[in-house]
Amino acid sequence: MNVQIAAQSEPQSAIEPQSALPAGLRRLVLTGFMGAGKTTVGLLLAARLGWEFLDLDAYIESRTGLTVPSIFAKHGEPRFRQLESQALASALGRSQVVLALGGGAPEVLTNRLLLEQTPGTTTVFLNAPFPALFDRCMMQALNPAAPVAKPTTEPAPTKPDQPRPLLADPTVAEARFLARQPIYRRLARLTVDTADLSPDETVAALLANLT
Ligand code: S3P
């Protein structure tokens, strides 16, 4: 069941993540469009839980030795999607992990089945309006060194900000956004509306509403 969450005021220190986690939960998967903050929130969430953080794009890059943009440029999107599914299957073998998906991963049926059928796996949709997401991505592209969020424990490697191949045409990107919205919603047990939330507030809202 999806739960819509508005900004909430509970202070971060009031939450005890480990005791708040549902029994049997072994992985939290963050999904949402490009710019939703999956990596930023995922790092913070993993640090709060004392879990590993894994960014699926960074994992693909470490497995292939190629950046995501170069995979798109040299081999095309279909090949990227194959590599993404293989990486997801491998990533779901881990426990006590926060996994940030690439924005397009849930479009692929194999990936949805993997996520739905791997026991102990809960998917959370980080939602925001398209203009906010697009602006965030453009800001990141213009200022890739800008700090996003400081993890509180040793972070796993994450991909540096890179141009996103699928944002080259804003009209096409918005069409993708609209087509994906119902897919994200159906897949996720929880939807967090992040437009008015800081990354810390997003983590707090997510933890407070996990069932
Ligand atoms: C994509 C999103 C990107 C990356 C690739 C394709 C998409 O990840 O996987 O460029 O199809 O939305 P982020 O959502 O982390 O930017």
Any atom of ligand 1 within 6 Å of the Cβ of 103: yes
Residue-level pLDDT at 148: 43
Ligand 1 center to residue 54 CA distance, Å?
Answer: 14
Dist. CA 60–CA 85, nearest whole Å: 10
10 or 199: whose pLDDT is higher?
Answer: 199
Closest residue by Cα to atom 9, ligand 1, is 102
C-alpha angle 162-77-88 in degrees, rounded to nearest 5 = 80
Q: Please write the tens of the pLDDT for every residue from 48-80.
A: 999 999 999 999 999 999 999 999 999 999 999
pLDDT score of 96: 97
Residue 93's pLDDT band, with cuts at 50, 70 and 90, is very high
Tell which one of 134, 164, 183, 184 to mutate to probe ligand 1, the residue whose CB is within 8 A of the most ligand atoms.
Answer: 164
Q: Which of 3-12, 64-73, 180-189 has the lowest mean pLDDT?
A: 3-12
Tokens 């998967």 locate to: 29
Furthest CA-CA distance within the chain: 48
Can you tell me the mean pLDDT for 78-85? 98
Weakest-pLDDT range from 126-130, 141-145, 167-171 = 141-145
* Protein residue closest via CA to atom 11 of ligand 1: 104
pTM over 0.95: no
Outline where DSSP puts E strands in 16-157. Answer: 27-31, 52-55, 97-100, 121-127
What distance in Å separates the CA atoms of residue 189 and residue 37, rounded to the nearest whole number?
A: 18
- In the chain, the percentage of residues whose pLDDT exceeds 70 is 82
165 lines ligand 1 (CB under 6 A): yes
Q: Is the pLDDT of residue 13 over 80?
A: no
Residue nearest to atom 8 of ligand 1 (CA): 102
Q: From ligand 1's centre to the CA of 13, what distance in Å?
A: 32
